[in-house]
Amino acid sequence: MASLSEGDRITNMWTVLKKLGEGGCGTVFEVENNEDNCKYAMKVEPTSIRRRDQLLKTEAFILKKMQFSKYVPSYLAFDRTSDFRFLVMELLGNSLHDYIHSLPNKRVSVSTTLRVGLLALEAIIDMHKIFFVHRDIKPANFAFGLGDHSRRMYLIDFGMSRSILNPPDKLRKRRATGRVLFRGTTLYCSPNMHMKKEQGRHDDLWALLYMCTEMITGRLPWSRRGRPNAAVLKVGISGKELFQGCPKKFEVLLEYYRSLSYEDRPDYDGVKDIFKNCMKARQIDDDDPFDWELGHVNVSKHPIKQKAIHSSESIDSSSRTCDDIATGTDDSLSLEVSSR
């Protein structure tokens, strides 16, 4: 990794203040702009690494392309020196992972989970609008802003991301590769990744569902089981067993994601409706404090007033309806899928 120390100056525009973290996608530093004295985050990647391991250029491309979205940090610059490439972006606060691990038993209330899940869903949808899939949805890849944006959640770390178009700037869908290398995190990735299948848009949503489940239950059944055992559990487990203590409609989402393939465009509005109606049934307000703002897990139970939920709005004229997935008196949500 790049060797930078406090006080180092980069291209005479940036001064390194401190190291923030290090991971598979590069090292992150807090830096100061020498012109406006504002602080930013700088992700650094050595130029000496193998071409196939170079991730920062992809991350910079995606971040710049997503500046229309309020769910990604602001893009400042992408440049290089003789030793490393660097991406400068808005400085963020704690990650969702940090907040979860600050709570007793690392468990999050249903109220906070549903609201965080909806924010994450909006961020993922914005990424899919530019025809990229993230492929590594997990708590560590969401972070909250600073100051006035402390309740806004951002999607970060696009190094594992991949375009579903071929080439990325043409409106021609990339065909799924027969077998692909493992990408993502074993705990959260969908069963498709274990089967070496190309990840589509629904796989990001699937990982989000696992993430929300872990937040509520504190642990996923395949935690620390190893990749082969995790794959078996993910394929064989029932929704009823997996989602103990979670909103019942999580079972609807699981069955829906299992019905989709790489080419399918998920019914984003239908998925959002599930989160929103789960919140409405529990009288959860968007402005309610998050658990970490209370200093402890909110264990109070929101009264559930279940009603039948219907979402009949189509996202595409060629879509097919998955009514058979959402059956029952209080789970009758019509989810749709398009191959667009």
Residue 320 lies in a domain: no
How many angstroms separate the most distant Cα atoms in the chain?
A: 65
Distances 260 to 39, 73, 237, 316, 338 between C-alpha atoms, Å: 43, 30, 18, 15, 10
Same domain, 85 and 108: no
Are residues 59 and 150 both part of a single domain? no
- Rounded CA separation 267/338 (Å): 8
Is the alpha carbon torsion for 179, 172, 321, 257 positive or negative? positive
Q: What are phi and psi of 240, to 5 degrees?
A: -60, -40
Among the candidates 60, 90, 120, a domain finishes at 90
Within 8 A by CB and 6+ apart from 32, the residues are: 14, 15, 17, 38, 39, 40
Q: Are residues 17 and 156 in the same domain?
A: no
**Under a CB-based contact definition with an 8 Å cutoff, are residues 115 and 284 in contact?**
yes
**pTM, 2 dp:** 0.85
Residue 331 falls inside a structural domain: no
The backbone torsions φ and ψ at residue 145, rounded to the nearest 5 degrees and listed phi first, read: -80, -175
What is the per-residue pLDDT for 178? 62
Tokens representing residue 154 in the block: 């951002």
* Helix, strand, coil distribution of the chain in percent, nearest 5: 35, 20, 50
Write out the chain's pLDDT in tens, 340 residues. Answer: 568 999 999 999 999 999 999 876 789 999 999 999 999 999 999 998 888 778 999 999 999 999 999 999 999 999 999 999 999 999 999 999 999 999 989 999 999 999 999 999 999 999 999 999 999 999 999 999 999 999 999 999 998 999 998 655 555 555 556 667 767 789 999 999 988 888 999 999 999 999 999 999 999 999 988 888 899 999 999 999 999 999 999 999 999 999 999 999 999 999 999 999 999 999 999 999 999 999 654 433 443 333 332 332 222 323 333 443 443 334 445 576 565 5
Q: Which of 80, 73, 66 is nearest to 20 (CA)?
A: 73
CATH of the domain at 73: 3.30.200.20
Residues 81, 203 within the same domain: no
Boundary-marking domain end, from 90, 112, 133: 90
In a domain, 329, yes or no: no
170 and 287 co-located in one domain: yes
Tokens representing 80 are: 């290089």
Kindly give, in sequence order, each residue whose CB lies less than 8 Å from that of residue 120, ignoring residues fewer than 6 positions away: 137, 142, 153, 155, 208, 211
Number of domains composing the chain: 2
| Residue 110 is assigned to a structural domain of this protein | yes
Residue 61 sits in which domain range?
9-90
Q: 83 with 153, same domain?
A: no
- For residue 271, give the H/E element and its range: helix 268-281
Please tell me whether residues 83 and 112 are part of one structural domain: no
- CA dihedral sign of residues 153, 139, 118, 70: positive
In a domain, 22, yes or no: yes
**Same domain, yes or no: 185 and 44:** no
Instruction: Let me know if residue 318 belongs to a domain.
Output: no
| Residue 328, domain member (yes or no) | no
Does residue 148 sit in the same domain as residue 185?
yes
CATH number at residue 252: 1.10.510.10
Domain end among 90, 125, 159: 90
Give me the catalytic one of 8, 83, 136, 204: 136
Q: Are residues 181 and 234 in the same domain?
A: yes
On whether both 243 and 164 belong to a single domain, the answer is yes
**Catalytic status, residue 331:** no
Please name the residue that has the structure tokens 């549903």. Answer: 114
Regarding whether 156 and 32 lie in a shared domain, the answer is no
